[in-house]
Each structure stands twice: as C-alpha cells, then as structure tokens.
Amino acid sequence: MTLFRSLPARCLSLAILFTLAGCAGLGQQGMQVPAAASPPIAASAPMGQAPAVATAASASAPTAVPAVATAPKVVLPPLRVDLNAEPVLADVPAATLTAQSEEEEAAQRADLWVRVRQGFAMPDLENDLVRKWEQYYAGRPDYVARMTERGGRYLYHILDEVEKRGMPSELALLPFIESAFNPQATSSARASGMWQFMPATGRDYELKQNMFRDDRRSVLASTRAALDYLQTLHKMFGDWQHVLAAYNWGQGNVQRAVARNQKAGGSVAYDALTMPDETRNYVPKLQAIKNIVARPDSFGLALPPLQNHPFFLSVAIERDIDVAVAARLAGMTLDEFQQLNPQMNKPVILAAGTPHLLLPFDNARHFVREIERHRGPLATWTAWVAPRTLKPAEAARTVGISESQLREVNRIPPRMLVKAGSTLLVPRAATSTRDVSEHVADTAAMILAPEPLPGRRRIVKAGSKGESVASMARRLKVSAANLAAWNGVAASASFKPRQAVVLMLPALKSKKSVRTAAKKGSGKAVVRRSAQRRETKPVARTRVRVARQ
C-alpha cells in the first residue's frame, strides 16, 4: 500500500514548490496551489492554535514536545517575498535608481536576518548584565557560529509564526538562550525541547508526551505551544520583559514580585524586581543576542547567511515507518533526520500519532520518489498492549522474542511486572499490514509494578522539606524504581514534607534459621551485639547512682 494518494497530482505540486523555491532569492511571489490538488507536501505548514488555557504551569529555565493529535491542514502557502513592495527612498529621483541598487534590494529581501531585524519591537534593556553577556558571546565565536547555523533550520518557520501573530521578532531568537536551538535539549529539571517546556506546561498546551513521542521536542508543535503560552502571559502582564521573566520563572512568581514592589512603593520594572539570578540574567541574555544579530560586526562576529524561504517541507505519511527507514528513504543520516524530527521516543514513527515528517526540499523530493520504489516492510516495530498483568518472561513468550530483548527495548528493570493495559514495543511480523491505532498512538504508556516478595510493610516519613524519590531511595538504600512502585509514583517524582512513604523490608528470619546461620559462622555478629548490650547495662546503672549522689 502506498503512503501517498493521488501521487501524480502531488508530484506536480512538489515540482511547483521547488520552482518557486528556486526563485525566492529573486523576489518572485508564491502562488496558492488549488485546494483540489490536496498535495501531501507543504512548506512548513503552520500548526493550528491551541484553545485558551486558564492556568499554565511555569516553563523551565534553560538547561528538549504535542503536536496536535491530528495532522495540520496541508497546503502550499505562498513564499513570503512581496514583489510589489517598493523601497522607500526619500528625496532620490526615480531616474537615479540603478540596476545595482535593485540587485541590492533583492539581496536584502532574500536575507532572513534582515527580516528578523526589521521586526524588532521590544524596548531595549541597557545595563551591566547586557554588557556581560555581549562579551560572553563575543568571546565565543565558534559557539555562536554553531548555534546560529543550527538555528537556521528552524528560524524561518518560527519567524513566520511570530509575524502571523503580530509579535516582536525578538521572540524568534528566544530558543538561542533556551536551548541554543537544540530541539533535543533536556534540562536537569526535566524541561525539554527547543523551547524547554516542563512536562506539566507541555500538557497544558496540548503537547503529547507518551512512550512513543514527546511533542515538547517537535519543531512545529512546540513552536505553536510556546507562542500560545507567550501570548497568554502577555495578556496577564502587558509587558514583554515581564512576560519573558514569567516564561522563565513562572507567572505566579513574577506577579508576587510585582505586588511586593507595588506595596513598598518601588518600581515594578523588570530589572527592579527581586528574582533568582537565572531570571535576572534571562532578558539581558536575549538583549545581548538581539544586539549581536542587529550589529554582528560591532562584536567581531559573522552570522551565517540564511535565505528568506522555508528550510523544510511537511511530508504526509499514511503508514507506520521505522525512523531508520524514513531517514534512508529521504537520503539523510539518522542525525540529520532527527534534527527535524526529534520528538520520536522509539525507533518507529506511528502514522496515527505523527502523520507528517519534516524534510529539507531536496530530501522531500527524494523521499517521495524512493517510497514508491520501496519493497518490503516499512516498519519492523509495532505496539502490543498487555491483556493482563504479566511477568516480562511471559510477555516475551507471548510476542515471540527473548525476555532480555523485551527488557532492553522497553527498559524494564529487574523484579518488575508489566501491568494490564501497558503498551510495549515489540517486533512486527513481516506479514503484518496492520498499523497502530490512533488511540494507542496517543495514550501508550508502560505501567510497572514490583513483583510480590515476602517481606514487611513499613511506613517511613519523608524529610521535613520534602524529598525526591531518588534521594529518599539512596537514604533508605533501596532502588528508586522499587520505592516509586511501592508508592504508586514515578521514579522522577518527589514526596511532600513529612509524607508517609511505604517501604518494603525483607521478611524476618525465624529463630530456627538464625540458629542454623549461627552454626555456619554467620551468627557471630549477633552474638557480639548481644554481648555488647549486656556489657553496657551495668555502666548505665552506675551512671544513674552517681547522678543521684
């Protein structure tokens, strides 16, 4: 079964797109492809906006994601180069316009950095922290070069979305300080993606996170969600510097900081607020990047040339396909493919959950051609839902693979059961033509529980300031996975201050087993402890008598 419907019409649409792309630098206007053509390939098609969210959790500071469950409507938007836009040349007679000036004008229209600079609209911040970060970046030209070259893959799409919403173009530079434009970045606080969404904030803004994908890392979905979030914050604060502080620190923290300054009769400007060092440096970092983009020569830096047209296309898929197979059919290395499609958690892409791929122009054309020539299975992996609670060995026998392989691909720790309803990644039969359903693709989760062991249930208390599962497990000398399972929480969760925590201890040995162990030489420690207790009792009584005298 082919991945594409009406292939001839789609190939024609693709050819039209490539013709337009080749003319972008010359200022040619784009044209809409008739809706009847319904092409499967679109130039960085925008995601639909998410519905309004009443309350959003705070996004994390920088250290790497859901796309909307259904595919965006796929169209070929016009290239954003306006042939009719006349240059504004005050007091210059029309007769003095030369061919060279027209060429310069066309070159400027083709330069994406020019377009970024023209959209700057936020008030500038001037302070010592801005100077500090300017010097920091100016002193690391190699880092700036890597960061801007990487950002060149995504900047056109982000700037396009920013402009559609009437937002300042400085916001398109925000991933520079969030993740250095790395869509696979993950912070120690579990923020992820190019825009560094925390898990809860990502869920608030419809970023799907399950075992098969994390759309906090999706280029399209995370950009849509980040701009939605920034717009929500702007409605709260009305000031972009406060918005950025809230994006980094959380809107509740910024609101309280503003209220404190208002109560004290002080200034409520961004740089007058009492806030963590990370947030205090946040806007100065962005201002430093803005200044460098505006005047790179002033800092001894050179920005890589970026053309003012889309870097990637959105290519629709209709069948599950392995990540490695998709990269090979697109003529890309796995790393290159994952830079544009970083949201995949498993080695297979489920068409029901991720109905499109992002590919550069030439690679999109290569993919369309090669997918038609491909023979054999597209996917060698699929999803299997456990019908009941099983031991991993039993689950492995059911799906026909070894227990070690099942544990490895699904990261199942020792002495754990796979609970009923869990989704596991398993090899797909070569003769199977059935793809994973949309329900499984959107809700897949693996739920584990510890195997029942003989032991005693004990309740202990978390610390007075709260503890993470990992830190408490280290203190109690048990595994974090077991402690989490005993208490029905994730291994990355935290316990509240003084929270009651379940701890399973080994079963007590009977007197007979203790005597048997002692005969084998292992009871010496028990005997020594008993002797020590007898020796200490007279000392304690002596101390009491002395105290009474």
SS (H, E, C) 56-78: CCCCCCCCCCCCCCCCCCCCCCC
Q: What is the mean pLDDT of residues 102-128?
A: 87
Query: Has this prediction a pTM greater than 0.85?
Result: no
Q: Find which of 18-27, 92-101, 144-153, 537-546 is predicted with most confidence, using mean pLDDT.
A: 144-153
Residue 121: pLDDT over 60: yes
Residue 213: pLDDT over 70: yes
Domain 7-87+98-299 part of CATH 1.10.287.130: no
Q: Is 149 a catalytic residue?
A: no
Lowest mean pLDDT among 271-280, 475-484, 501-510: 501-510
Q: What pLDDT does 481 receive?
A: 86
Q: Are 154 and 226 in contact (CB under 8 A)?
A: no
At 420, the amino acid letter reads A
Residue 282: pLDDT over 90: yes
Residue from 134, 161, 170, 178 carrying the catalytic annotation: 178
Q: What is the mean pLDDT of residues 465-490?
A: 89
Tokens standing for 129? Answer: 């922290």
Residue 137: which pLDDT band, with cuts at 50, 70 and 90?
Answer: very high
Tokens standing for 213? Answer: 């994908």
At 221, the amino acid letter reads A
Q: What is the mean pLDDT of residues 96-105?
A: 53
pLDDT above 90 coverage of the chain, percent: 64
Q: What is the mean pLDDT of residues 181-194?
A: 95
Residue 419: pLDDT over 60: yes
Residue 509: pLDDT over 70: no
Torsion of CA 342, 345, 347, 349, to 10 degrees: -70
Q: Average model confidence (pLDDT) for the chain?
A: 80
- Digit-coded pLDDT (tens) for 43-68: 443 333 333 333 333 333 333 333 33
Alpha helices in 91-173 (DSSP H): 99-109, 112-118, 128-138, 141-151, 155-164
Residue 26: which pLDDT band, with cuts at 50, 70 and 90?
Answer: very low
Rounded CA separation 350/319 (Å) = 7
Lowest mean pLDDT among 51-55, 148-152, 255-259, 529-533: 51-55
Rounded CA separation 73/220 (Å) = 13
Please provide the DSSP assignment of 365-408 as one string. Answer: HHHHHHHHH--S-S-SEEEEE-SS-B-HHHHHHHHTS-HHHHHH
Nearest to 342 by CA among 218, 434, 435: 218
Rounded CA separation 308/23 (Å) = 11
Backbone angles phi, psi at 68, to 5 degrees: -60, 145
Q: What pLDDT does 512 receive?
A: 52
Lowest mean pLDDT among 10-24, 269-283, 347-361, 371-385: 10-24
